[in-house]
Structure 1
């Protein structure tokens, strides 16, 4: 197993807080003007080789985490608040081997559109940002021609 983002996201998922603690925290801050939800599991999911557990892992990180984070804070979002959801440019392209990653980010886009309508009466804006590929030392690999290209954890 590689030491890519997947290892860090697994650690984050294990650090769950009891709902009562979250509610106490949210009560104490008495309102929120901005929420930035950034869920980022990224690994290959080839159609013929992806197991159900891998599917669940990716969807839990990228969709379930965003949904339940928003559900937890929506009661304390102030009128006119801003919600920013991180997506990926992958939600608009068909990249072989990344169907579930693309689908999970498209789901986040759909959540943003739906929540915009649901929260309209409170004047809460829901936007998305779709950063492109970012070359990092852990993900950049030399190509046959000596150039660098982006690759994802597998």
Structure 2
């Protein structure tokens, strides 16, 4: 099957949401997560629109939601980058070894969030990824993530 990396990543996202998994329960609120683009090298852009279930008691997006989203999108990046000819089931998801999140400012419901996941290095046993979060309308960065996955 011939498809683009973006189409493949969107297919994986849809499959995840239909599975009823933890990620589906967190991010499948009225299309709160959309993949804009993806490249075979593991670069991915997505838009996250915070919903009420994503908020903490201060009505800002929970840090746990940001960490979970980073984990989920970087995992999809690895799966796309390691898949053979973008075929389902051929990519590796791996297991998180380290996930480090730096928070710069709070985000509220009014902001669409642009998320960029970048595969920095793909080795035989480890993948090193970065994920950045910024408000789409103000272009201000509010979080960055460094993620290491064992393959």
> Structure 1 length normalisation: TM-score?
0.31
Higher relative contact order (CA 8 A, sep 6+): 1
Structure richer in helix, relative to its length: 1
Structure richer in strand, relative to its length: 2
Over alpha carbons, which structure has the higher Rg? 1
